[in-house]
Structure 1
Amino acid sequence: MHPFQVLLLPGWQDSGPGHWQTEWERLHGYRRVQQHDWTRPLRGDWSARLEEVVADAPGEVLLAAHSLGCILAAWWAAHTRHARKVHGALLVAPGDVQRPDLAAQIRGWAPIARRPLPFPAVLAGSRDDPYCAFERARAMAQDWGARFVDLGARGHVNAESGLGDWPEGHALLQTLINKD
C-alpha cells in the first residue's frame, strides 16, 4: 500500500450509503474527517477540525474531497500552517457556494478561496452537476492550479450518480499517490 493516510472530506449533509466516499472508507480504510454539524456547516468549525486532523496525522496525507469538502480544502489550504503535510488532493464536484440559491442554504462559505493550492491537485467536474456549472468548476481548477478532468455527464458525482465504489475516481487518486 502507500505511506499516506487518505482523508475523506464529505460535503454538506455528509456522504451516506452508496456514495463513493463511503465505499472507499469501507473498502480501503480511508478516514472520514467527521464534522460536528453536517446540516448547518460553519466554515470556521470545519476548517478547525481539518486543521486538527492534519496536524495530528503521523505523516503525509492525501485529501479526497467532494462538493463542500472541495471548498473546505481550498479555504483551509489558504490559511493553514500544515499544507506541507498534504501530498495531494482529489477534488470532486465542488459546490458553488457563491451561487445565490446555494449561498442561501449554506451561509458563510462565500467567498470561495481562489488561491493556488500549495500541493498538487486534480479537480474532477461533471457537465451536468446541479450544484456547479461546468465552466465554473473548470475556473476553480485553474485558480487552484489543479489538473482538470472532465467526467462527462455524471450529475453531482454522488450516490445518485450510481458510481458505486467509483474505480475511475480511485484511479485519479492513485495518480496523486504515484506522483514524483
Structure 2
Amino acid sequence: MKAAEANLLILPDCGNADDDHWQSRWERKLSTARRVVQDDWNCRNKTAWVERIVEAVEAAGKPVVFLAHGLGIAAMVHAAPRLSPEKVAAGFLVAPVDVEDGLMPETADPALAPLSRDPLPFPSMLVASRTDPACSFEAADELGHAWGSFVIDAGDAGHLDSKSGHGPWPEGSLTFARFLSSIRRA
C-alpha cells in the first residue's frame, strides 16, 4: 500500500501534537494525512475522543491507516470494536501510555483504563522506547503482542515526541514506509 492509497488519520496524544512533532510534520508532508481533531485536547472525555475517531473512519473515502501516538493509541483501541474491518487497513502506533499504571496526565479521563488486550482487527506496528516516561518498554511490548502488533524497539528514545528530539524523526518515517508497503488490501 502507498500513502496516496489511504486516508492517514493522525491521532495525537493528550495535549495535541505541537508544530515540531513528527505527526504535525507528516501531516504537512503527506497529502492524504489529516488530524482527527478533538474538542478537548486534555483527554477529559473518552467517549468524545472515541466518537471522533469512529466518525473520521466512517467519513473516509479510502482505507484508513492510523498514525497514533500516546493516548491517541488508547482512544483508538477503545474505538476498534466499533470500526468496520473493511474501512481500516492498519495502525502505526507510537509510544503508548500505560493507562493502568497511573502514568496518564491528571486531566485524562480515568475511563481510558483499562485497555483491551484483544487483538486489533487490522495489522499494526507498535514502536516503543526503553526510556519512555509514560510507559515501560515491558508494558508496551506486552500490549503490542496482545494486540497482534509487530513491536519495534526504538531504544533510548523518550516519548518519541518533539520534547525527546523526535520532531523530524527520519527513522520513524522509514519504518512507517516499510510498514505501509507490507500492507496488502483485497
State the alpha-carbon separation in 2 of the partners of residues 7 and 100 from structure 1.
27
Q: Distance in 2 between matches of 1:158 and 1:164?
A: 6
Runs of at least 4 residues off by over 3 Å: none
**TM-score normalised by structure 1 residue count:** 0.93
Change (3 A) 1:101 1:6: closer
Q: Is the 8 A contact 1:70 1:91 kept in 2?
A: yes
Question: In structure 2, how many angstroms separate the alpha carbons of the residues matched to 1:109 and 1:82?
Answer: 21
Paired amino acid for 2:151: F
Is the partner of 1:2 in helix, strand or coil?
helix
User: Partner residue of 2:104?
Assistant: 102
Q: 1:93 aligns with which of 92, 95, 103?
A: 95
- Find out whether 1:172 has 2:172 as its counterpart: no
Q: Which runs of 5+ in 1 are unaligned?
A: none
Classify the secondary structure of the residue corresponding to 1:83.
Answer: coil
1:157 aligns with 2:151: no
2:129–2:159 Cα contact (<8 Å) kept:
yes
Deviations 1:24-43 (A, max 9, x none): 11122310000110014311
Shift of 1:85: 1.0
Pairwise mapping of residues 55-94 of structure 1 onto structure 2 (< 5 A)? Answer: 55-77=58-80, 79-94=81-96
Cα distance, 1:99 vs. partner? 1.3
1:104 Cα deviation (Å)?
A: 4.8
Please provide the CA RMSD for this pair.
1.5
Q: Tell me, what secondary structure is at the counterpart of 1:123? A: strand
Task: State the partner residue of 1:15.
Answer: 17
Cα distance change, pair 6–101 in 1 and its aligned pair in 2 (3 A)? closer
| 1:133 partnered with 2:136 | yes
Letter in 2 for 1:13: G
Q: Which runs of 5 or more residues in structure 2 are unaligned? A: none
**What is the number of residues matched between the two proteins?**
179
**1:54 aligned residue (57, 77, 88):** 57
Alignment check: 8 A CA contact 2:97 2:103 kept: no
User: So what's the TM-score if we normalise by structure 2?
Assistant: 0.90
Task: Please give the alpha-carbon distance, in whole angstroms, between the structure 2 residues aligned to 1:38 and 1:132.
Answer: 20
